[in-house]
Structure 1
Amino acid sequence: MASSASPVVVKAGYWFFGPDLNRQIAEIPSELFTHLYAGFAVVNSDTGGVTFPPEYEEQFQTFPDTVRVRNPSVKTLLSIGGDGTDLSAVVASSDKRKNLITESIDLAKKFHFDGLDLCWLYPSKADQEGPFASLLNEWRSALDLDFAETTQAANKLLLTAAVFHHPGIPDKDGSITFNYLNPAIITAVNVKLDWINVLAIDFYSPSNSPEQTGPVHAWRNPREQNRCGSEGIKKWIDGGIAANKLVLGLPFYGYEWILTNPSSLSGFFAPARAASELPMAYRDILDEFLRGTYETVYDSQYYAVYSHKINGDQWIGYDDGLCIFGKVREAIDLKLGGYFAWRVGADDNYWTLSRSASNAVRDNAINNPSEITEESTIDKSIMVGDHQQKSDQNTRTSTTSTTTSTTTSTTTTADTSTHTASINICNIL
């Protein structure tokens, strides 16, 4: 069985070793999180063995104790796999699965992790569905056996998995190649896992939308309903996964395009070409992209933001504090298990996005959403990037709407900022 009851709301974040190491692990504001993931342990495709990447071995080993300095109650999980890791050969073999399970548990216990996470991005064939379910079942059985031998509740390891934003993973032609709603997987998720982390991200990126911009990590999308987080969550729930088993992914990065006709078309779905297929961290967007004169538009219908250079052709779509706050409130309303940041180290110097998410659930909002009022919600100063803090406190105006879609438009130069807004995310200002 899954481990003891989860907290009222999961407030998690992934720390990627590699991209995040230009920041110190000790800097992570672990007081804003209930769970922190260290990613990613390496799997040997020939044996199923699990090890830390050699170049980051010491950082992995000390991660749990380091983040507990600021928050002794934070739980740490070792995430296995990560982007670009093909686990198909390991998952298909019972012997390799056994090695993966045994060695991952040994690593977690030796270095004081509180749980394990399977981050297979992503399964791609229907014949992988059965072995995937088998891995989850066998992993939980091994954890239960280990717990029975230790007899200490504090030592019972959590087990989670990162999954695609929709329960069906499509091929390039749109046909479903792997379905998480296989009955065996549904049972494994609901019974064997503590929760799944739904990567509600990358609905529009230079790789899947090379000729036009888009609401990169849209929560809703009336134009293309299937390309948004809310529709994916709905399909998970309609497919039989308990809502409280779903933890919503919050992206801390964006993507850049070059506009084709910047003087006439500069919004979502504007003609454009890819500037780069690589994601840009939120802090880099603030530090590198949003310098000089630019316009930023927030659309509450999508919970999405874009910025483009005035008299220029650079365009970038991303999530800011308003988007993050709104998505977490949606997760609360849907009674999801919580949220996770993908990835914590991409936040800005003020941890704007991490604070926005955490403040959306403070005051026990997950159980008492009606108590969220203007007096008990998030400070304006951490809703947007540090480059706008002072000016937005003075110039932001807002009204509340629950039925209409509106936009925020910001024009910023090196010295001035004007911001007007009409938004629909429940009295956040």
Structure 2
Amino acid sequence: MASSASTDSVVKAGYWIFGKDPIRPVADIASELFTHLYAGFAEVNANDGTVTIPEQYSDQFRTFTETVRVRSPQVKTLLSIGGEGSPISPVVEVADKRQTFITTSIALARNLGFDGLDLCWLYPNSSTDNPDNLTSLLQGWRTAAESLLLTATVFHHPVIEGNITFNYPIQAINEKLDWINVLAVNFYTPSNSPTKTGPVHAWRNPREQNKCGSEGIYNWINGIDPNPEKIETNKLVLGLPFFGYKWTLTNSDQRDFFADANTATLTSLAFRNIQADYININIAGRLVNDHDMFVASYWHHEVTWIGFDDKHSIATKVKEAIRGNNLGGYFAWDLAADDDNWTLSKAASNAWDNGINNPGSTTTITTVTTNTGSTITTTTTTTTTAVSRDGEITKTVLTDTTTVPVGAASGEEDINNDTQTSDQNTRSRTSTTTTTTTTTTSATTTTTTATSSSTSSVNICNIL
């Protein structure tokens, strides 16, 4: 059973990670945009399982709940335990250590005024990691925690293929946790793709289906061999990444997803720094949004290429990925990376508030008109996407192309499409216009935007 503090409504959460760069005060958090806020990370002692807070941030942890409730008295707070590199594996495998973990974590959360606890195990990948041990931990945790919220931050897929094959214990998650935070991030990074750019945090990926968020969410919802158990959809909370990565292109004329690169920056870039250090100071740079194929964004200037999620990608993920699949909500990773205007946090919150519970059948009509000077070619692609109540997605695509001499078309005009579109190499005297219209059957609005087509084993890698 979940906690009595569990909410039946949306989870709009965010992580605040002490010690991250940029360093910002907790009082900066726009807590009115969130229902739940995480403070990370409490530390785990590998020798005995004791959970403590880092001494250098003790004051911030102790005042976290009080501080964020100044702007939003109703926001709930959770103490997150672990994070990358935390020695959780040796604690989970030993019964005595598990019990110490349970006892000390609960006492710590209550003493510090938190409403719940989060197990941020990134990720089970040791030869000794066993789903049965995790089940035992969750069972003991829930029994002792009583009314506290309990969550876990997990891999994007229910099965981890690393040094071992680890199957998350779905039944225990359904019964003992209030929800899980799914980190659907880092599908293409300088670590796992040093010579090619890519849709870093793609929601869809027709090129490599196993490297995107939708594939993982589908398998969490529908089950996968050898673990056919299904997670309850409202227990899935999808991660929204507030960071990206930078590559140096081999050829500045080839700058789409999967372009060749010869240098990559291994450390992540916070969204606020991408905005301040690149986008805002290089007016000749180009921001490209791909919402049709990948739901991802990138920015380039000369040979500099940065993949990340901007406010448009974030909003699309909330509307399509989260609300479209009836998930429990979203969480931001991490809040200090947002800019001073809370651009990404506002985009996510507004997208949820203005969204719909289930999109039903969504039809996207894309019309591409190309004027070569002598002929006009019009290609119309109609894509119908249906999302069932249990999260199953089906898609039908119909394409129609017509070509006529210039004189046969009336009222045509050349349009230079220089808004946020994919910048395929242009040809002289050739004008291409693309219009995408998306209509949702159960929605009350129809949107039309200018856009154009994009060229189109997940590694366990750093996310912090």
User: Which position in structure 2 is the counterpart of 1:83?
Assistant: 84
Contact kept? 1:37, 1:79, Cα under 8 Å: yes
User: Which position in structure 2 is the counterpart of 1:120?
Assistant: 121
Q: 1:160 deviation in Å?
A: 0.1
* 1:190 and 2:190 matched: no
User: Which position in structure 1 is the counterpart of 2:231?
Assistant: 241
Q: 1:211 deviation in Å?
A: 1.1
- What is the rounded CA distance, in whole Å, between the counterparts of 2:206 and 2:357 in structure 1? 30
Which structure carries more strand by proportion?
2
Q: 1:130 deviation in Å?
A: 1.3
User: Which position in structure 1 is the counterpart of 2:2?
Assistant: 2
1:328 pairs, out of 315, 318, 323, with 318
Letter aligned with residue 137 of structure 2: L
- What is the rounded CA distance, in whole Å, between the counterparts of 2:88 and 2:439 in structure 1? 40
User: Which position in structure 1 is the counterpart of 2:420?
Assistant: 408
User: Which position in structure 1 is the counterpart of 2:259?
Assistant: 270
Q: 1:360 deviation in Å?
A: 1.2
* 1:136 and 2:138 matched: yes
User: Which position in structure 1 is the counterpart of 2:216?
Assistant: 232
* SS at 1:187 equivalent: helix
Deviations along 1:71-127, one digit per CA (max 9) or x if unpaired, are 000000000000121311111111111111111111111111000000000001464
Q: Which runs of 5+ in 1 are unaligned?
A: 145-155, 371-399, 412-419
User: Which position in structure 1 is the counterpart of 2:407?
Assistant: none
Q: 1:273 deviation in Å?
A: 3.1
Deviations along 1:169-199, one digit per CA (max 9) or x if unpaired, are 1227xxx62121xxxx111100100000000
* SS at 1:277 equivalent: strand
Q: 1:21 deviation in Å?
A: 6.2
User: Which position in structure 1 is the counterpart of 2:40?
Assistant: 39
User: Identity across aligned pairs (percent)?
Assistant: 56
TM-score (norm. length: structure 1): 0.82
- What is the rounded CA distance, in whole Å, between the counterparts of 2:268 and 2:275 in structure 1? 14
Contact kept? 1:243, 1:336, Cα under 8 Å: yes
Contact kept? 1:329, 1:425, Cα under 8 Å: no
TM-score (norm. length: structure 2): 0.76
* 1:261 and 2:261 matched: no
Number of aligned residues: 372
Q: 1:409 deviation in Å?
A: 2.3
Summarize the Cα distance change of 1:353–1:82 in structure 2 as closer, same or farther, 3 Å threshold: same
* SS at 2:156 equivalent: coil
Contact kept? 1:299, 1:305, Cα under 8 Å: yes
Aligned CA-pair RMSD: 2.5
> What does residue range 52-201 of structure 1 map to in structure 2 within 5 Å?
52-125=53-126, 127-144=129-146, 156-171=147-162, 177-180=165-168, 185-201=169-185
User: Which position in structure 1 is the counterpart of 2:290?
Assistant: 299
User: Which position in structure 2 is the counterpart of 1:417?
Assistant: none
- What is the rounded CA distance, in whole Å, between the counterparts of 2:245 and 2:10 in structure 1? 29
- What is the rounded CA distance, in whole Å, between the counterparts of 2:262 and 2:182 in structure 1? 28
- What is the rounded CA distance, in whole Å, between the counterparts of 1:218 and 1:340 in structure 2? 16
2:342 pairs, out of 351, 361, 378, with 351
Q: 1:20 deviation in Å?
A: 5.2
User: Which position in structure 1 is the counterpart of 2:204?
Assistant: 220
Q: 1:275 deviation in Å?
A: 2.5
Contact kept? 1:88, 1:128, Cα under 8 Å: no
- What is the rounded CA distance, in whole Å, between the counterparts of 2:80 and 2:68 in structure 1? 16
Summarize the Cα distance change of 1:34–1:401 in structure 2 as closer, same or farther, 3 Å threshold: farther
User: Which position in structure 2 is the counterpart of 1:286?
Assistant: 275
Contact kept? 2:45, 2:87, Cα under 8 Å: no
Contact kept? 2:195, 2:263, Cα under 8 Å: yes
* SS at 2:265 equivalent: coil
Q: Which runs of 5+ in 2 are unaligned?
A: 224-229, 361-381, 386-396, 400-416, 424-433, 441-445, 449-464
Contact kept? 2:326, 2:358, Cα under 8 Å: no
- What is the rounded CA distance, in whole Å, between the counterparts of 2:151 and 2:171 in structure 1? 14
Summarize the Cα distance change of 1:345–1:134 in structure 2 as closer, same or farther, 3 Å threshold: same
- What is the rounded CA distance, in whole Å, between the counterparts of 2:439 and 2:273 in structure 1? 26
Range moving further from structure 2, 107-116 or 12-21: 12-21
- What is the rounded CA distance, in whole Å, between the counterparts of 1:421 and 1:317 in structure 2? 24
Contact kept? 1:9, 1:366, Cα under 8 Å: no
Q: 1:356 deviation in Å?
A: 0.5
User: Which position in structure 2 is the counterpart of 1:388?
Assistant: none
1:337 pairs, out of 328, 332, 335, with 328
